[in-house]
Amino acid sequence: MRDIALVGIGKIATDQHVPALAASEDWRLVATVSRSGTVEGVEAFTDFDAFLEGRPEVGTVSLCLPPVPRYAYAEAALRAGRHVMLEKPPGATLAEVQALARLADEAGLTLYATWHSRMAPGVAPARDWLADKRIERVAIDWREDVRRWHPGQEWVFEPGGMGVFDPGINALSILTAILPFDIHVQQATLEVPENRQTPIGAEIALSGNVRAVFDWRHEGEQTWRIEVDTDAGRLTLSEGGHRLTIDGAEQGPAAGGAPIPGEYPALYARMAELVGAGASDVDLAPMIHVADAMTLGRRETARPFEF
């Protein structure tokens, strides 16, 4: 097993990263860095530089910080000779993640820009089924309640927080994993609350007859659905990629009854593979589509939003 440190002990870390590491056969969580959060039984630091100096033998760090401060931590870790795993989105800008990728390559270190939704069990079978099909239409319907998933987290509506694209990028990460061709944003409409900086709703049209609707105000049943109409029928990924149907028939994502790992355990298994192979994985396609939507999007003022 390899030693790893977890940086940023907030909701996503405690809900997903800590349990995934506790169950991992590849990793041993030996340190955390956070201003306030800790993990029972694990050495806790409040300063990242103090961790880097005090635990030089810990060769890998997983960064669960919000996107805006993440670059400085990742750069410091790479310059200190540590492999780096990035929570999604991998940074606040494309340029900074590209700079990190170059730095990791020059240092011979692993940099992994993770997209957890790609690890949902229906995604790989969907990609395989679509590989030889003619795709006629794609519709994404991604609606959830920001108060439920990001309670009181004001940073999501600040510059760099991405607003509704924080969940929307999950859909785009699945889309770019399953389509057998490249796509690009053609137009977008962004609904921005008058008291906020980032959108709470968005509609996007992409090439290839792809349409996406994202809404962060949805208080009913949470909806994470992608429909793909093809010359061989309709493929549907629902429940964020965990359920796959073709023309309404359920498809078994785990062939032969093999156990299905959770998204985050699968991410950490992938990180172990990358470190072992001396490789990196920095796919920025989902982030490029968000950046393009922000650039091309027509902004409409929405009613004020408060948590």
Beta pairing partners, 223: 143
User: b/e per residue, 49-61, with b = 16+ CB within 10 A?
Assistant: eebbeebeebbbb
What is the per-residue pLDDT across 196-242, written as a single tens digit (0 to 9) for each? 999 999 999 999 999 999 999 999 899 999 999 999 999 999 999 99
Distance between CA atoms of residues 270 and 275, nearest Å: 9
Judging by DSSP bridges, how do beta strands 223-230 and 60-63 pair with one another? unpaired
Q: Which of the pair, 258 or 178, is modelled with greater confidence? A: 178
What is the per-residue pLDDT across 22-73, written as a single tens digit (0 to 9) for each? 999 999 999 999 999 999 999 999 999 999 999 999 999 999 999 999 999 9
> Do 86 and 110 form a contact (C-beta atoms < 8 A)?
no
Active site residues: 88
pLDDT at 256: 41
Segment (H or E) for 270: helix 263-277
Q: Is the pLDDT assigned to residue 257 strictly greater than 70?
A: no
pTM of this structure: 0.94
Q: Is 300 helix (H, G, I), strand (E, B) or coil?
A: strand
Q: Where are the strands (E) in the chain, listed by range?
A: 2-7, 27-33, 43-45, 60-63, 83-86, 111-113, 135-143, 185-193, 201-206, 210-215, 223-230, 233-238, 243-246, 249-250, 298-302
Q: What is the mean pLDDT of residues 107-135?
A: 97
pLDDT at 303: 97
In CATH terms, the fold of domain 2-113 is Rossmann fold (3.40.50)
Q: What angle do CA 290, 293, 297 make, to 5 degrees?
A: 150
Q: Which CATH number fits domain 120-253+289-302: 3.40.50.620, 3.20.20.80, 3.30.360.10, 3.40.50.300?
A: 3.30.360.10
What is the per-residue pLDDT across 156-167, written as a single tens digit (0 to 9) for each? 999 999 999 999
pLDDT at 3: 98
**pLDDT interval class at 16 (50, 70, 90):** very high
Residue 260: C-alpha distances to residues 33, 136, 246, 269, 270 (Å): 30, 30, 20, 13, 14
pLDDT at 261: 64
pLDDT at 259: 46
Distance between CA atoms of residues 155 and 219, nearest Å: 21
Q: Is the pLDDT assigned to residue 7 strictly greater than 80?
A: yes
* Chain centre to alpha carbon of residue 79: 24
Contacts of 34 (CB under 8 A, 6+ apart): 7, 8, 9, 10, 44, 45, 46
User: Token digits for 23?
Assistant: 């169950």
Distance between CA atoms of residues 49 and 34, nearest Å: 12
Q: What angle do CA 226, 17, 12 make, to 5 degrees?
A: 65
Domain ranges of the chain: 2-113, 120-253+289-302
Please tell me whether the peptide bond between 265 and the residue prior to it is cis, using omega within 30 degrees of 0.
Answer: no
